[in-house]
Structure 1
Amino acid sequence: MKKRTSLFLCLIMLTLTLAACSSGDKKTGGDSKELTVYSPHPLEFTEPLVKDFENETGIKVELISAGSGELLKRVESESKNPLSDVLWGGSISTLSSKKDLFEKYESSNEEDVIDSYKNTDGYITRFSVVPSVIMVNTNLIGDVKVEGYEDLLNKELKGTIANADPSKSSSSFEHLINQLYAMGEGVPDDGWDYVSDFVKNLDGKLLSGSSAVYKGVADGEYTVGLTFEEAALNYVKNGAPVEVVYPEEGTIAKADGMAIIKDANNLENAKKFVDYVTGKEVQQKITSELNRRSVLKGIEIDPKSGMKDLNDVKVIKDDEEWSNDNKEELLGKYKDIFTSN
């Protein structure tokens, strides 16, 4: 009887130990060689970096691409059973409002990050610097001058402007913030009259995501579009009939971010990925080859890339805390303006 009892107790202890180990592996990644990444970045940007990461680490990455708004909603809906480990991309204002969905983590490269782009909140790692720009199709623009936001009110452009829904596109939301500060001369509440006039010139057209903007302009569906620098420079580099305009009223050059999803199944692999893409080698590559500005100090810009030195661009700043705290109100006001036109 004692032997049976001892054997029974041993089996119970073994079962509990295995369960604990299994649970620990799931939380920390254990010996897992898998990683799932959600990203709104263009596939032509993410795929080369993911491939390099896989080759270097042996970790297999499942990359799922969609708009930042859609992906963030997916992370939120999956919060009790995360299906992804990393959200790679999205504006800081978009991600900051959902910090409860992320793990606290500081990358191993944080000390090399430019001071204004450091991870001050502890959750969101800054990945790259993304100025807002206007993309122009040179085959369609004709004699119409486009040097800034004011020029987009030209009636000749009505219905030919590509702009995404700011509730679904981080880059579009950043343009809304940029318009409010630039056209309000630093006072965002004073910029709404411009936004109202701009929305009228959209003629009821609001696109579903960031990629629809730059693809639409490059393919000749739209004459101009509000997008982000890297997307536009890619088309310039590949010989498309487009040019990049930095709004003369001022450009906001914010960092975009990335975060590890709370209770990620492959937590240790997620940390490795964040450290990898914020490392100096990758950061130089994204600048030299993929037309994206680095957040690290000492990364060189190739003058032949078409990327302007920010010293040659009128750069303005917003109050990020105000933008983050008022995001839902701003989106609601934009929606009201759009639906009333």
Structure 2
Amino acid sequence: MNSIKGIRRLSTALCATALAFAVTGASAQQKTTLLVYTALETDAMKLYKDGFEKANPDIDIRWVRDSTGIVTAKLLAEKANPQADVVAGLAASSLALLEQEGMLAAYEPKGFKELTPAYSDSARPPSWVGMDVWAATICFNTVEARKRGLPKPETWKDLANPIYKGAIVMPHPASSGTGYLDVAAWLQLWGENDGWKYMDALHENIAQYVHSGSKPCKQAGAGEFPIGISFEFRAHQVKKSGAPVELVFPKEGLGWDIEATSIMKTTRKMEQAKRLADWMSSKEANQITANWWAVVAYPGVAKPLEGIPANYEQLLSKNDLNWSAKNRERILTEWSKRYDGKSEAKPN
């Protein structure tokens, strides 16, 4: 009799275990993967993924990352058959171009009204929602400059001085969002004629155009070149690492753009995509962003960062993102015709 009871208990236990495995397996099968195209810095991607998936355990983010220009070109090339569900951490000037092409879904995330309106699409509902502002910054290696007898530049125009010949590296505007915001800013600051004249003079001093917004500051920090035109996130990180760099914020004004989030109109996972857009607009996500950025979309969340001036937001130049988007192809064609000879070879 006892053996029969034992067999029944064992049978019940086995059934319960099998049921538990079945439930676990079903849960795993129900997990939705969102394909997210991004130009976010790799330093930040894990924190966003971990934070979102903790709040949404039934969704998994799969990143496809590259520099801004390459992600933008990839999205435009896929226009007839888009692959991404969401775009996060891409330049607003690129997203404005995608919106003009009819590729984005208009959606107002939960909590949107808490965000600074100026850092999102002005349409309601918006096609893109800002995360942070990033802007041009010059990384100046004081040790290398002293060796070469180079003065510290204070303005963009200073960089056209022949004393800096071969001393400057800059991001390529076709592959780097930072490179494009520089070019767009100079054309808006001085007008097209004077803007191109300035870039002609600057080109004489450029050692190389590289395919990353971060790389020029890393190169300056490592002493490969005295001057790297970059942006404040990477400049702050390089300075914080102990490299002998000073951060220069040119007096004429800083070119800038906005990292933002958009939902692709063609996604078949709209409900999950909206949940990601909601989370990227949340205070929690903005607190992650504030680890590196001096200006974030959620008011009151940003904190002082080493090397970034307190009046940083006031240093941003006037910037028409829609103009930058509309004229992107024309500007990049002209830029390449003039300056591509000094471009770094593209990685395979």
Shorter-chain TM-score bucket reads 0.7 to 0.9
TM-score by length of structure 1 reads 0.81
Q: Hey, what does 2:45 align to over in structure 1?
A: 46
Alpha-carbon shift at residue 134 of structure 1 (Å): 1.2
Q: Quick one: distance in 2 between partners of 1:52 and 1:115?
A: 24
Aligned equivalent of 1:118: 120
Per the TM alignment, residue 179 of structure 1 is displaced from its structure 2 partner at its CA by: 2.1
User: Are the counterparts in 2 of residues 286 and 293 from structure 1 also a CA contact under 8 Å?
Assistant: no
Q: Does 1:146 align with 2:153?
A: yes
> Residues 319, 82 of structure 1: CA spacing in aligned structure 2 closer, same or farther, 3 A cutoff?
closer
Structure 1 match to 2:56:
57
Call closer, same or farther: CA 1:271–1:217 in 2, change over 3 Å: farther
Query: Residue 74 of structure 1: SS of its match in structure 2?
Result: helix
Amino acid at match of 2:234: A
Partner Cα distance (2:337, 2:82) in 1: 34
Assess if the C-alpha contact under 8 Å between 1:301 and 1:307 holds in 2: no
Larger radius of gyration: 2
Partner residue in 1 for 2:205 = 201
Whether the 8 Å CA contact 1:68–1:169 is kept in 2: the answer is yes
Displacement of 1:311 after TM fit? 5.9
User: For the structure 1 residues 78 and 336, does the alpha-carbon distance in structure 2 shift closer, same or farther, using more than 3 Å as the test?
Assistant: closer
Instruction: Evaluate the alpha carbon distance shift between residue 32 and residue 268 of structure 1 in structure 2; reply closer, same or farther with a 3 A threshold.
Output: farther
Paired residues in the alignment total 306
Query: Does the 8 Å contact 1:286/1:292 carry over to 2?
Result: no
Partner Cα separation in structure 1 for residue 243 and residue 53 of structure 2: 31
Q: In 2 relative to 1, CA 39–219 (structure 1 residues): closer, same or farther, beyond 3 Å?
A: farther
Q: Which runs of 4+ in 1 moved over 6 A?
A: none
1:103 matched to 2:110? no
The question of whether the paired residues in 1 share the 8 Å contact of 2:181 and 2:256 is answered with no
Whole-angstrom distance in 2 between the partners of 1:178 and 1:198: 14
> Counterpart in 1 of 2:288?
285
Q: Which runs of 5+ in 1 are unaligned?
A: 1-29
Deviation at 1:340, TM superposition (A): 7.7
Are residues 1:74 and 2:74 paired?
yes
Counterpart of 2:271 in structure 1 is 268
State the TM-score, normalized to the length of structure 2.
0.79
Structure 1 residue aligned with 2:220: 217
1:158 aligned to which of 156, 165, 170: 165
Give 1:220 deviation, angstroms: 2.4
- The alignment partner of 2:258 has SS state of strand
SS in 2 for 1:97: helix
User: 2-side partners of 1:274 and 1:310: how far apart?
Assistant: 30
Could you tell me whether the CA contact under 8 Å between 1:291 and 1:307 is conserved in 2? no
Q: Which residue of 2 aligns with 1:35?
A: 34
Asked if 1:322 corresponds to 2:323, the answer is yes
Q: Which amino acid aligns with 2:92?
A: I
| Offset, 1:174 | 0.3
Q: Contact 1:255–1:295 (CA<8 Å) still a contact in 2? A: no
Give, in whole Å, the separation in 2 of the partners of 1:153 and 1:248.
15
Which amino acid in the other structure matches residue 54 of structure 2?
N
- Partners in 2 of 1:138 and 1:47 — Cα distance? 33
- Supply the RMSD in Å over aligned alpha carbons: 2.4
Displacement of 1:188: 4.1
Take 2:75 and 2:320, find their aligned partners in 1: how far apart are those partners?
27
Identity of aligned residues (%): 24
Whole-angstrom CA distance in 2 between matches of 1:42 and 1:312: 21
Counterpart Cα distance in 1 of 2:55 and 2:312? 36
User: 2:216–2:229: 8 Å Cα contact kept in structure 1?
Assistant: yes
